[in-house]
Amino acid sequence: MSATADALGVPQSTLSRRLQRLEYDVGTSLFDRAAGGLRINSRGEVLREHLSKANAELVAGVEAVRRISDPDRGTIR
């Protein structure tokens, strides 16, 4: 958890609270907790797959808007 928090640039306590809030919002646990930390469970894997697809669509949308906004290649109206 600490290494992930460091990589994201947030305190470990903040990351922990955000993950707990996510689980609360989803309505179920997404991680199995053990002495060694967290391990994503099957419910978390399902959500991760959907979030990966959603993120890919967001990135594609931003790129599409940038392409049409490019003054050298964009759409002129």
- For residue 21, give the 3-state DSSP assignment: helix
CA 34 to chain centre: 22
**Report field, pTM of the whole predicted structure over 0.85:** no
- Residue-wise pLDDT tens digits, 20-56: 999 999 999 999 998 888 999 999 999 999 999 999 9
- Going from the C-alpha of 75 to that of each of 50, 62, 69, the distances in angstroms are 32, 15, 7
* Cα gap 47→30, rounded to integer Å: 8
| Cβ-based burial of 23 (10 A; exposed 0-12, middle 13-18, buried ≥19) | middle
